[in-house]
A and B are shown apart, each in its own frame.
Chain A
Amino acid sequence: MTFFNDVKKILQQNIREYGMYIALFVIMIIFTITTEGTFISSRNIVNLVNQTGYIAILAIGMTLVIIIRHIDLSVGFLAGFLGAIAAIAMADPKVVQAGMNLPVYIVIPLTLVLGIVAGLLTAFLVAQMKIPSFVASLAGWLIYRGAILVVTESTGTIIINDDAFNAIGNGFVPDIPGIGILPGIHKLTLILGIIAIVAMALSEFNDRRKKLTYNFEVLPTEIFILKVVFTSAIIGGITWVLSGYQGLSWTAVIVLVVTIIYNFIMSQTVLGRHIYAIGGNPDAAELSGISVKKLIYVVFGSMGMLSALSGILFASRLQSATTTAGTLFELDAIAAAYVGGVSAAGGVGKVVGSIIGALVMTSLTSGMNLMGIGISYQYMVRGAVLAAAVIFDVATRNTGK
């Protein structure tokens, strides 16, 4: 039975990588059973994805920061602060009265640029002034906390009444109009899902073909087919569940696009390789002609930009900017990254892993909410899961390749 032996061997070698997918799957099954199916309902899954959005975006940036052996504690309140800035620019009563309010298509890029500037400031302290990132970003945490209070002092909560802006956190991609078949199903989502499956399969086949022309080692044929079928089934399943409600939310689209871009950068480009190299051994990287300083600016700048995006998503979801926006986001993002297999020692971790980590953490919250478990126990369970994930990570560190 070479087939089963092969499967076993490949699972063993990649247990670290597959571990969190399996964990997410198990958690989903448990909640589906305990909530008698409510958990897996289209409506709940769509909600879950939207709730994960602003943490997932932060977790992507945090993955890079942790890979280069740093940390950024300021991102939560930075997100909250920039969300408030965006709200003021669009909808603060005084600004509106003065006729100074800006349209959404200017506000969003402007907020992202402000985020990059904030990130570069932290990077300046870390790279130039040689301040440990924990301290530099803790200073930022305090400053942005104060800054939120300053800008919302006079008005308190700022209500945003821009429909386009609010759609980011609450709206859905519209369906193709005028198709009669399959009523109640979001056709566009279904079509996108099918395109995704075909694209995935084609790129896998293409990659395998190229590897074979070089005479490199590839997966055995049966396992390769099994892998493609399995991945297709997962994409298909998610597509089906999502299209049963209102289809893809704009939040899901944003998270998907950011994930694809960052995953591509980290796995395929020179920049990504250099970031992993710095995390693996900064001295060796520097001697290999990589400017560690420059990449600290790049990584913290990207973190700032994603903080701004996260702030926009959150403000849009609440349709307002509040004085407490951003509280504990940074710790949720850090937890998601660790659950997703990012190593605290640096140099190891994947963007997709952190997204799965974020999904695991939100699934726990969502599932326990549906079960009516109190918030106090929810914190404890999430803490235990975080500890278990890191224990698993450490225990499997030396297996596989």
Chain B
Amino acid sequence: MTVLGVIRLSVLTVPRNVSLYRRGNEEFLHKTYSSYGPHYVKPHVTTEKRKELIESGEAETLKLIPIKAALNYETCSVFHDELTRKFTNHVMRCGKKALARELIEKTFEKIKRIQLEKYHKTPEDQKESIIKDPVKILHDAISNSKPLLELTPVKRGGVRYQVPVPITENRSLFLAIKWLITSAKDKDRKIHFPEKLAWELLDAAANQGRVVKRKVDLHRQCEANKAFAHYRWS
């Protein structure tokens, strides 16, 4: 009998993306499980962003840093709009992105038709004031629907007070999108979603309609409850 060397099984390696952080006197290990290494950074997909990087000289510093692969929805196309993509993802149900995208495109078509009709009906000197770009209308609608404050229940002495609190930019965006979509879904059975959404967006872009009213109502309630604001910290 002869022995043929040593062949061993090594222990599987653990992910190395580990960092230490402190909260009070306790130390915590923060682990992230990623197929990329710890020093990979996100890609800069848009042409404007890359131009900026070169002008500011940051591109030089990025030269040695590995970049993550661009995600499957990212593109440098001029037709790509980040906010529209975000809105589409909120419209999406059960992961049917193609359907959600189709609905948004139909909405945009509807908006375009309505605005073009309006454009041709208006007299020559007022024509410039009409926005014909549906993406611009979506942006306006969302920025007009964004709330600044929110009411959160806080229990003090057995009583629940509705306390106004300032919200983050992200939360504000989320609420605006959610309100626009829910108000568009609240419709007659015979009306299609893209049609209703187009009306809602046009209303909100003109700073009127149900969603803007909802925002104003919330702000009014916050104003009425401002006496409770100190419960946020006391």
Physical interaction between A and B: no
Interface residues of A (CB under 8 A from B): none
